[in-house]
Amino acid sequence: MSDQSFFEELQSDFLSEVSFLLETYEEHMLGLENDDDKTEHSTQIFRVAHSIKGGAAAVGFQDFSHFAHKVEDLLSILRAAPEFVSSEIISILLVSGDEFKRRVKMLQEKDQTVWDVTELEGKIKQTIDRLTGKESAQTDVETKPAPLDSNVEKTASEIIPLDEEKPEVDHTNYELLNELMSELPQDVIKDFNSQDSNEKDKPLDNVPSITEAKSAVEKQATPSQPNSQESAKKNIHKTHTNQIIKVDTTRVDSVLDAVGELVVLKNQIVHNEFIKNGNNPQLEAIVDQLDKGVRELYDKTLSIRMTPLKSLYIKIQRIVRDVSIALDKPVELELIGEETEVERTVFELLNDPLVHLVRNAMDHGIENKEKRKEKKKPETAKVTVSSKQMGGNVIIDIIDDGGGIDRDKILHKAIEKNIVPESVNPDNLTDEEVFKFIFSAGFSTAEKVSDLSGRGVGLDVVKSNIEKVNGKINIYSKPGKGSTFRLTIPLSTAITDGIVVLMNKQRFIMPIYAIKEIIRLKKDYFTEIPEKGFVAKVRDHLLPVVDLNPLFAELQGVMEHHSSEIESLDSNQKKRSDELMLVIVESGGFNSAIPVDDVLGQAQVVVKSLNMGNNVPEVSGAAILGDGKTVLILNPNEIVKDGQFEAAA
**Domains located in the chain, CATH noted:** 3-138 (1.20.120.160), 262-304 (no CATH), 307-490 (3.30.565.10), 495-648 (2.40.50.180)
Q: Which pTM value belongs to this model?
A: 0.64
CA angle, corner 107, sides to 103 and 110, nearest 5? 135
Strand, helix or coil for residue 3 = helix
| pLDDT for the residue 252 | 82
| pLDDT for the residue 329 | 94
| pLDDT for the residue 39 | 83
Q: Is 343 exposed, middle or buried (0-12, 13-18, 19+ CB in 10 A)?
A: buried
Q: Which residues of the chain have pLDDT under 70?
A: 1, 134-244, 278, 391, 423, 445-457, 554, 556-577, 588-589, 611-615, 641-649
Cβ atoms of 649 and 422 closer than 8 Å: yes
| pLDDT for the residue 280 | 80
Cβ atoms of 602 and 498 closer than 8 Å: yes
Q: Are strands 630-634 and 506-511 parallel, antiparallel or unpaired?
A: parallel
| pLDDT for the residue 226 | 45
- Gap between the Cα atoms of 158 and 148, Å rounded: 14
Q: What is the pLDDT of residues 433-464, one digit of tens each?
A: 888 888 887 777 666 555 565 444 478 888 88
Q: Are strands 482-490 and 393-400 parallel, antiparallel or unpaired?
A: antiparallel
Q: Is 333 exposed, middle or buried (0-12, 13-18, 19+ CB in 10 A)?
A: buried
Task: Output the CA torsion 192→193→194→198 (10° steps).
Answer: 90
Cβ atoms of 149 and 200 closer than 8 Å: yes
- Gap between the Cα atoms of 355 and 453, Å rounded: 13
Strand, helix or coil for residue 319 = helix
| pLDDT for the residue 127 | 92
